[in-house]
Structure formats: C-alpha cells, structure tokens
C-alpha cells in the first residue's frame, strides 16, 4: 500500500511548527505515521515520518524541518528492513534465526521449542485470546521457593503491531532466560518472571501482510480504518489526555477503558498475584521510561524509579555502549493516558517501558534494518536482567 508513495522525515522543533505542519499534512492528504507527533517534553525536536504523494512531498520539502527519505516508501522498507519470514531450522547455536524478521508462526514455534527444551525451567500457557481468536501465550519462570507475595516481574512485548524488534526481543529474552536459569538453578530462587512475547498477535499479522505501519489491534472501528491502541485502553486515567477519540487515530483509546480483549488478557496476568516490576517493551527511540504517563507531576516513588531506571540504563550501556535516556513518560516524551505502565503502577508495581533501537533519527524508525535485531535484543535482555535483580534484591 506504500508503493510509489514518498516517505518524509519530519523534525520540527517548536510546538507552533508541529501544529502548522500537522494541518498542512492533512490539507495535502498525507498520512502521518505516528499520531504522537509532538516536541519532546524535555525540549527536543519532534521526530516522525509521513507518507505523501510526490507532488505533496515536493511542497512540504520546502520547509526546513521536512526531508525526503525515499520516493518509494514500500520499496525502501523492503530493501532496508525486509519483510517477516518463516523459519524451518532448529534451535542450534549456529542458527541464523535472528538475522531476519520472523512471522508469527516462526516466533511462537521458537518459543514453544525453547520451553520444551528447558527441562522444566519454564512453562508455557495460553493466557487468553485476541480479538480475532489467536492465542496470547505467556512463558512462566517460577523459581524454587517462590510463593505469592514474593518478587514477581511481568513483561509484555510487541503491544504495538509495527514494532517488530520488540517481539523479536521477547523471543530472545525467553531463550536467554531459559539458558541462564538452566545454568544456575538458584538464579531465580524466590522469584517469578512471566513473559508475554507477543501481546498483539492480530495487529502484528496485519502489519506483516497488509500495512507495515499498523500500530493497533484489529477492532473494526469504521469503514475506513481498524484498531484500538491497546496501550491507551487501560483503566489508568483512561481518555484524560495523550490519547484520541478519533477512530482512525493511531492513539484511538476505544469506546471505554478495558474494551479490548488484549487489554483484559494482560490485566488478568497482572492481577493474578502482586507484581514487583512490570516492563512493556516497545520501539523506537532508545529510552527507559516510567510512570507517570498521564501527568507530568512527580511520582511519590520517584527515588525508586530513578534507581531501577538507572540500573537498567547502565546494563544496556554495558552491552553495546548505547546510552538510553531515562525518566518519566510524561516528562521525557509526552502525556499518554491509559497505558500499561500506569495501570501496573496503580497495582503497586514499578511500571517501566523500554523503547528499543533505533535512535530518533536516521535509524529506520519503526522499520529498521534486520542487522539491529540481535544487538537490540541483547541490550534489552541485559536491561531486563537488571530489573529482575532489582526485584529480587531491592535496595
């Protein structure tokens, strides 16, 4: 659907320019690829992409904050990033599974195989069903001596469909935690870790087959568009700002809090027992974010959040030298209500969002090259280990 269309980068540095550019995009019939198009809360310039006709792109390019990435967005993404592929190989160390994006069947088959080969270190179960009836699975690591009320870490991946690298990191995290727990049976003693490597299977499949930039689930909301943004649908200051009531918006919050089955499946896992830390893995922009998202007010647990955030930041940097920015969602980025992070926080967990690679400019945005998969997954996993260690041994 993006073949022959021009892909633009938008980098305005003032709120007034963002508003003016947004209006001009709409007038010219362009598609903004991310409705979260704002100057950053810390004063940084906005970073977004848009799809336009060639004529409209030429008009917009006259602005200093707009540049052309490619005159054929579809061809550009196929060439620079690639599509989601099946995989028929096994679990061997020499496997090149992470050398390319994988489709849903390949991802879940690998997770199943890793768990089956875990020797009981991990178990897999179906937590619930998506809107279109696909299984939403979780992998559970229950350390020796764990009981309800002891440290628990819950992680979700690929909640936004187009953020393929997050889901690849989820598969990698399952694989690596199995290996670590098998090598050291005492590592998770007294701790439970639960991972949901694919939180939005319907939307992800749509992004692989129809619309590479699809973000939401597959709720049929109008004759023109699909989807509710699951990460704006939670019962945590729902629809109080930083989301949209427009059904075709990428941040459409749905008709009511918890209206979507995917939201309810995640909430069910959250509520089964007290959580110590919750992490929602997204992409892109290389950030470690925390509650609050719905307000710029300081959090009463700010010291704890800066402590765990700093530890995740240091662990990620130690992997490949990248320094992810760290801080509260609304203070670092923008206000966003109804998020998983704020919902988990409301239940007593430390709610964290890791925004993976690439960085804000020039790295491929939501469709980075496949060469980013493994290093991105490696640094994300090291950040996850830092969070698990924090939960198990709080200061």
Catalytic residue positions, numbered: 355
CA-CA distance, 292 to 90, in Å (whole number)? 42
Q: How far is CA 302 from CA 66, 160, 174, 310, in A?
A: 37, 27, 30, 12
Q: Would you put residue 17 in left (φ > 0), alpha (ψ -120 to 50) or beta?
A: alpha
Q: Which helix (H) or strand (E) holds 315?
A: helix 302-320
Q: What is the CA radius of gyration of the chain?
A: 20
Q: Are 253 and 327 in contact (CB under 8 A)?
A: no
DSSP string covering 25-82: HHHTT-EES-S-----TTSPPP-EEEEE-HHHHHHHTTSTTEEEEES-HHHHHHHHT-
Q: How far is CA 276 from CA 30, 264, 328, 346, 387, in A?
A: 43, 20, 18, 12, 10
Strands of 6-10's sheet in order across: 31-32, 48-52, 6-10, 66-70
CA-CA distance, 331 to 234, in Å (whole number)? 20
Assigned token pair, 28 = 């010219």
Tell me whether the omega of the peptide bond preceding residue 292 falls within 30 degrees of 0, making it cis.
yes
Q: What angle do CA 271, 274, 279 make, to 5 degrees?
A: 80
Q: Are 309 and 315 in contact (CB under 8 A)?
A: no
**Phi, psi angle pair for 209, to nearest 5°:** -105, -25
Q: How far is CA 347 from CA 82, 196, 272, 277, in A?
A: 39, 19, 11, 10
CA-CA distance, 143 to 211, in Å (whole number)? 40
Closest to 201 in 3D by CA, of 156, 134, 124, 281: 134
């Amino acid at each position: 659907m993006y073949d022959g269309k021009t892909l633009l980068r938008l980098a305005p540095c003032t709120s007034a320019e963002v508003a003016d550019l947004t209006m001009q995009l709409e007038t010219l019939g362009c598609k903004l690829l991310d409705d979260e198009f704002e100057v950053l809360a810390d004063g940084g310039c906005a970073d977004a992409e848009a799809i336009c006709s060639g004529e409209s792109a030429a008009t917009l390019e006259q602005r200093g904050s707009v540049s052309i990435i490619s005159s054929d967005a579809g061809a550009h993404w196929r060439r620079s990033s690639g599509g989601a592929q099946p995989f028929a190989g096994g679990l061997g160390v020499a496997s090149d599974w992470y050398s390319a994006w994988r489709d849903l069947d390949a991802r879940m088959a690998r997770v199943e195989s890793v768990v089956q080969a875990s020797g009981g270190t991990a178990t897999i179960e179906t937590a619930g069903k998506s809107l279109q009836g696909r299984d939403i699975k979780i992998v559970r690591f229950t350390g020796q001596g764990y009981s309800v009320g002891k440290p628990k870490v819950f992680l979700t991946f690929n909640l936004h469909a187009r953020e393929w690298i997050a889901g690849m990191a989820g598969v990698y995290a399952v694989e690596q935690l199995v290996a670590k727990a098998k090598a050291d049976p005492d590592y998770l003693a007294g701790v439970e870790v639960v991972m949901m490597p694919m939180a939005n299977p319907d939307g992800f499949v749509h992004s692989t087959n129809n619309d590479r930039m699809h973000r939401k689930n597959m709720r049929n909301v109008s004759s023109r568009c699909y989807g509710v943004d699951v990460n704006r649908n939670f019962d945590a200051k729902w629809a109080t700002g930083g989301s949209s009531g427009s059904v075709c918006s990428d941040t459409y919050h749905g008709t009511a809090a918890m209206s979507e089955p995917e939201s309810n499946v995640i909430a069910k896992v959250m509520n089964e027992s007290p959580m110590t830390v919750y992490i929602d893995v997204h992409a892109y922009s290389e950030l470690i974010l925390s509650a609050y998202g719905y307000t710029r007010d300081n959090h009463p647990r700010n010291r704890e959040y800066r402590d765990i955030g700093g530890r995740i930041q240091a662990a990620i940097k130690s992997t490949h030298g990248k320094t992810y920015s760290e801080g509260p969602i609304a203070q670092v980025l923008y206000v966003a209500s109804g998020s998983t992070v704020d919902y988990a926080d409301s239940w007593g967990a430390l709610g964290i969002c890791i925004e993976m690679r690439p960085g804000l400019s020039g790295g491929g945005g939501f469709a980075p090259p496949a060469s980013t998969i493994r290093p991105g997954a490696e640094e994300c996993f090291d950040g996850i280990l830092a969070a698990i260690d924090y939960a198990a041994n709080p200061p």
